[in-house]
Structure 1
Amino acid sequence: MTNRGIFRSLQVRNYRNFFWGGTVSNIGVWMQRTAQAWAVVVLSHGDGLALGIATFLQFFPTVLLGLATGALVDRVDKVRVLIVTQGLVGLGSVVMAVLDGLGILTLVQVWVLAGAMGIVTAFDIPARQAVVSELVGPDRVVNAIGLNSASFNVARLIGPAIAGLLIGVAGTPLIFALHAISSAGILIALSRIDRSELRQVPRSPVSRGQLVAGLRQVAGDPVLATVIVLAGVIGIVGANSLQVVLPLVATEVFDVGAVGFGLITSCLAVGGLTGALLAASTSGMPRYRWVIGAAAALGCSLVIASLMPVLVAFGIALVCCGGMFMSFAVLANTSVQLTAEPALRGRVVAVYLTFFLGGGALGAPVLGMLAEHVGPMRAIGLAGTLGLLAAAAAGGAVAMMVVRSRPVILANSPGTIPGIVYERDTEVVDH
């Protein structure tokens, strides 16, 4: 069986089931997110802060519970965790569809349901991220993470466009119902995974200090810590926060309604898909300069997007934003997973996600308020400026660390691919 090619992880049957089931589910997720954002716009009469609160409630539980859920994921069967969480997500959409269909859905109810789904997601995301290495093994993990991101962005391309069209025809209740149905896709896929073919990793026993073990590993690696902090800032200015501003851009700047909102969200996804596929074509430990460079390019793209005077030009700029954001996300995620000790991977990933998604949770209401006070386009420009400053600071910090010491990660170090010697910010050399 060949281990080359951009789709090489799909040669693994367990991962193939997970990938296709996840793709169906992700399309429903993006349809639901689009419908939820539009419902908030309608219920709040275009209040940017209300949009930001809904996004904050979806992501903040991951910040609050991230270390605990990461420790749990390291101790239990990750596939079973995902079956439970995906079932609960589908149930949440059923409730929203019923309330909306009866015409009794309120803004507060949307916030409560967003928060409830956020709590479920706090368990789902570290399990979903950490299970990849068990499905494909370390030699394919970079490729598998990239393909997961590509799947997510195919869904982000298709889902909002479908949702935008259906909202105009049948309203948001249908979208929520379709999301509930799509959740069955990942549940079927998870039920078909052959546990005997999973790559076993050491299970972490219950012990004192377990919750902070991931933090200790991050604190002991200054370059890794810098990447994770940078991920937090990119989370503030990235695609998750940008979703708060785009409905206002559609309605207040270009006046294109729900269909236009779906289309410009799809532009962001086109770039994300391209960036994910490019990242998936790489192998081995990404150089840290690539991670920081992607962050800087995202900042530039956001500033350029904020200056675009017409919808077509803005859409093209969003393609660049999506590409750079997803390139950063895949490269940073890969660096974290390959550096983490296998027994701590769930907790180290949870630390990364706490910063990355926590940044999105913080950035959503902040960008929403900025959009209300200075306008959505200026808010995007300010977000890009922050991203550029953060990338410059991270680049300077890593450069100083490399000058002081160039630690080599040997082939038998935890989390690395056998047969390769890695030296940070130098060429990858065959051992």
Structure 2
Amino acid sequence: MHGSTEGPELNPLRAYLMGTGSWFVGFGIQMVTFAWLVTMVLDASPAMVGVAQMALLTPMLILVLIGGGLADFLGGRRVALVAQGLAVLPPLLLALVIWQGQLSFATMVAYGIAMGSVSAFLTPARDGLLNDVASGTVQQAVVLAMLVQFIGQMVGIFIASFATRWGAVTVLTFQGTIFLVGVLGFARIPRPEVAPVRRHTSMLTELRQSIVAGYRVVAGDPATRTTVLQNIAISVFFIGAFIVTIPLLVREYYGGDSTELGWTNGAFSLGLVIVVALLTRVPDLTHPGRALIVAQATGAVALAGAGLGVPFPVFVALILTWGAFGGVAMSMSRTIVQERAPADSRGRVLSFYTLSLMGAGPIGALFNGFMVGWIGPRHTLVLAAGLMFLTMVVVALTSQLWNLKGHTTDS
């Protein structure tokens, strides 16, 4: 049961999706504008593009476990509400700096650190809330949340694709404003009647104990452990390629700007949306681990094709295909972890999931940035895809993930 909340009544799941959708509209804007400002407006070198993206991802590595512990300690709703509110400030401050004509690489690094820090606290808190508001099976709720996430990203990417025409100040101001909508959404999620359990210890002790407990849950479950480990490869090879290599490829090989970046990011998100929408129409998959492995390996083949110097329309189509298989993989990996996480440590377990998915991102950003400087963006994209394919072959041959059966009841 839930307690009352202030303001007009709103279905808890709809309120959750309102907050989630708002964040990912803003995140979609950030995907394009951050890469555009660093790669094309500031004309940074490949290595410095990697450094800038590392600044965006490093706070996740440092803070996400603390964020998950705080979500369990203080309650996910409270942490999500505060973090979403703080997210309003960085884009508005960056817009002010650009309006004053003071944009610099250091400014972008500071923005990246600020947004990365907010995300580290918001993500595990928001993800942990999903089980509380879900009205069907966990897999159904996960797929619905991801559908809203990717549609939101597409909307944000579409808006950001006009950054060259409208100007960064306009787009960033809209980004900050849309984050406010998410604050209203999370505020409409009812407060739990029972407050989160507090022990007679300090908050730091509680956080340390919660992180250790979360690690034990992850390490003690083979399916969760394998899913978390393969997420690290995703972070290094796939996410690193997406945020560093692909923008550099668009700049250096296709001669693009924010419009072409918007097409590329939009195609990826469209692929995600199409598949996740289809997943809402079919019964829960009985072997989520098998679907995860096949989707990751097939997506790697599509990504390798995008690095072969194909015409831009074919490149966009291959990125869309990669995104489609990514939709299956991301849905299944999150479902596996979400279903198997104990209710009393869900925030901590999901913080490890987020850490594995994003925490190795700084390594991936640097790896891709320096490899582009060494062998060029096309060859780097093929290399990253090939290494990811090999990783999934190893996972299929050495883990129990292939035969894992999913839950079909509420969690």
TM-score of the two chains, using structure 1 as the length reference: 0.85
Between the two proteins, the alignment pairs up a number of residues equal to: 395
- Which one of 155, 158, 169 corresponds to residue 173 of structure 1? 169
Distance 1:278 1:60 in 2: 34
Distance 2:371 2:198 in 1: 44
2:184 is the alignment partner of 1:188:
yes
Conserved 8 A contact 2:159-2:171:
no
* Residue in 1 that maps onto 2:151: 154
Conserved 8 A contact 2:219-2:225:
yes
Distance 1:50 1:188 in 2: 37
- Which one of 142, 145, 149 corresponds to residue 142 of structure 2? 145
Deviation at 1:106, TM superposition (A): 1.1
* Residue in 1 that maps onto 2:356: 355
**Higher relative contact order by CA 8 Å / sep ≥ 6: 1 or 2?**
2
Instruction: Tell me the amino acid that sits aligned with residue 311 of structure 1.
Output: F
Conserved 8 A contact 2:46-2:370:
yes
Conserved 8 A contact 1:57-1:115:
yes
Deviation at 1:39, TM superposition (A): 1.1
* Residue in 2 that maps onto 1:30: 28
**Which moves more between the two structures, 350-359 or 300-309?**
300-309
Deviation at 1:201, TM superposition (A): 9.8
* Residue in 1 that maps onto 2:367: 366
Conserved 8 A contact 2:287-2:402:
no
**Secondary structure at the counterpart of residue 209 of structure 1:** helix
* Residue in 1 that maps onto 2:43: 45
| Per-residue Cα deviation, 1:393-415 (whole angstroms, up to 9, x for no partner) | 1111125997xxx9x99xxxxxx
Consecutive unaligned residues of structure 2, counting only runs of 5 or more, are: 1-9
Conserved 8 A contact 1:239-1:322:
no
2:122 is the alignment partner of 1:121:
no
Conserved 8 A contact 1:278-1:327:
no
Counterpart mapping for 1:30-429 below 5 A:
30-42=28-40, 44-136=42-134, 139-165=136-162, 167-195=163-191, 203=197, 205=199, 207=206, 209-239=209-239, 241-280=241-280, 281-283=282-284, 286-399=287-400, 418=409
Distance 1:260 1:28 in 2: 19
Instruction: Tell me the amino acid that sits aligned with residue 360 of structure 1.
Output: G
Distance 2:268 2:195 in 1: 36
Distance 1:54 1:318 in 2: 23
Conserved 8 A contact 2:240-2:367:
no
Deviation at 1:284, TM superposition (A): 6.8
Instruction: Tell me the amino acid that sits aligned with residue 263 of structure 2.
Output: L
Deviation at 1:363, TM superposition (A): 1.0
| Per-residue Cα deviation, 1:367-411 (whole angstroms, up to 9, x for no partner) | 122122212121111111111111011111125997xxx9x99xx
| Per-residue Cα deviation, 1:117-159 (whole angstroms, up to 9, x for no partner) | 211211111001111001115x432122212222222123232
Conserved 8 A contact 1:154-1:269:
yes
Q: CA 1:235–1:276 in 2, change beyond 3 Å: closer, same or farther?
A: farther
**Secondary structure at the counterpart of residue 256 of structure 1:** coil
Q: CA 1:419–1:271 in 2, change beyond 3 Å: closer, same or farther?
A: closer
TM-score of the two chains, using structure 2 as the length reference: 0.89
Q: Percent of aligned positions with the same letter in both sequences?
A: 24
* Residue in 2 that maps onto 1:426: none
